[in-house]
Amino acid sequence: MNIYKSNINEYNANGIKMLRSSIFRKHLKQIGIKQHFGVPDSLLKDYNSYLSNECKRDNLITANEGTAIAAAAGHYMATKEPAMVFLQNSGLGNCMNPLLSLTHSDVYKIPFCMMIGWRGEATDEPQHMVQGRCMLDQLDAISLPWSILPKYEEQLPSYFKSIGSQHAIIVRKETFEKYRPLTEQNRIDQHKLSTESVFEEIVKHSNKHKIIASTGFNGRLLLNARQNVEDETIDFLTVGSMGHASTIAASISRKTEQSIVCIDGDGSIAMHMGNLLTNVQANPRKMLHIVLNNGKHASVGNQDTGMENTNLTALALTLGYHSATQVNRLEDIEKHLTMVKSGLHMIVLDANAPDPDIDLPRPIRTPEQTKMEFMKNF
């Protein structure tokens, strides 16, 4: 059953007809590309949602972007068919090693295609502006041909004729038509915690702690909870560096007697899971690692992370965390926050994913201003 509800064409803010995901995929299949690997992106979220709902067999969301390159290489070696790797341009850093040492034309010369969301092309958040400025130079530096995806469906046949055996398709904002699945995507599980109430509880009981929040919705949800109670505490909101917030926190905790709390997400954990081992080896003095496990990449359209059924507490304990506990009640969050113990500890919260279209505040300070204010604590 086709669950894609589409108008003939939607128009973006500039009056340009937007691409339908089904039409784009049809042209990909005509050049031999069916399989997709990658990490979802906000500029690609409608195409990512289309794949997740209608092309599940040909779509694998990977832990990070470098892993997607490796998966595409394995797929080609098994099938002789090139694959598509999708990502936000911030993920290019994770791709560089396999792009240069695995797929590169001077090494194994593996055909593949990339589909990159161009954050930072126009006015954007600071971390995206940096990546947006240097993205095309990065691709040129590694000799990977690229082109910008046209926004008119009529141009697609000639465009795809120009795609070589290795190519990066650059996707601008407002390229894809909004995807509307007819089935409910964000069902609320009454047995799980509300994400908003979790952050309210953290703010209520964290006045003695210094908080580092991971990128995406976590930092903005924390900021929202602070603003709702007119709390002017400065937290370190990690606006980029997905997967690295907990190691920032662990490294801080090595050098202070203050209680350090890191608020993390399951997608961030998955992206750099090896950082859990680094956190243990850092031997933090007093750190609580809070992980919201909702099984979704919430800020880019609630795509699956694959982590919902992962036993994170068992993993943390195996790697050497002093304690790791599954928490299902708000009052248990209070208990853990009011008694942060010496050493490295984790609590994992099964929470419902927030609405991907939720209106959340963004930091008004620059990242450097946030850093300087936060460092006054030490």
Domains of the chain: 21-171 (3.40.50.970), 195-375 (3.40.50.970)
Contact partners, residue 75, CB within 8 Å, separation at least 6: 35, 37, 81, 83
Query: What secondary structure does DSSP assign to 59-101, as a single string?
Result: EEE-SSHHHHHHHHHHHHHHHS---EEEEEGGGHHHHHHHIII
Confirm if 206 and 226 have CB atoms less than 8 A apart: no
pLDDT of residue 2: 34
pTM: 0.90
The DSSP letter of residue 358 is -
Instruction: List the one residue out of 230, 243, 229, 324 whose CA is nearest residue 278.
Output: 243
Q: If you ran DSSP here, which 8-state letter would residue 193 be given?
A: B
First-to-last alpha carbon distance for the chain, in angstroms, is: 58
Please report the pLDDT score of residue 201 as a whole number.
92
Query: How buried is residue 248: exposed, middle or buried, by Cβ count under 10 Å (0-12/13-18/19+)?
Result: middle
Among 87, 86, 90, which residue's Cα sits nearest to residue 131? 90
Rg, C-alpha atoms of the chain: 21
Give the pLDDT of residue 168: 98
> Could you give phi then psi for residue 167, rounded to 5 degrees?
-160, 145
Check residue 7 and give its pLDDT: 39
What lies within 8 Å, CB to CB, of 197 at 6+ separation is 330
Report the pLDDT value the prediction gives residue 340, as an integer from 0 to 100.
86
Question: What is the side-by-side strand order in the sheet with 84-88?
Answer: 59-61, 36-38, 84-88, 112-117, 166-171, 146-148
Q: What is the pairing mode between strands 296-297 and 303-304?
A: antiparallel
Element (H, E) at 24: helix 21-30
Contacts of 277 (CB under 8 A, 6+ apart): 319, 320
Say if CB 83 and CB 36 are below 8 A apart.
yes
Report whether 333 contacts 278 (CB < 8 A).
no
Burial 315-326 (b: 16+ CB within 10 A, else e): bbeebebeebee
3-state secondary structure at position 184: coil
The long-range contacts involving 369-377, CB below 8 angstroms and separated by at least 24 positions, are 370/234, 370/236, 370/237, 371/236, 373/234, 374/210, 374/234, 374/235, 374/236, 377/210, 377/258
> Where is 378: in which H helix or E strand?
none
Helix (H, G, I), strand (E, B) or coil at 298: helix
Nearest to 340 by CA among 192, 210, 156, 162: 210
Q: What pLDDT sits at residue 6?
A: 41
Strand partners, 351: 193
Which amino acid is located at 28 in the chain? L
Judge whether 149 and 169 are in contact, CB under 8 Å: yes
Six-digit token string for 136: 């095309």
Please, what are the averages of pLDDT over each run of 10 residues along the chain (378 residues)?
Answer: 42 71 97 97 94 94 97 98 98 97 98 97 91 96 97 94 96 93 60 86 89 91 90 89 96 96 94 97 97 84 83 97 94 89 94 80 90 91
CB contact at 8 A, 320 and 289: no
CB of 360 within 8 A of CB of 193? Answer: no
Per-residue pLDDT at 9: 56
- Which residue has 């409608």 as its token pair? 46
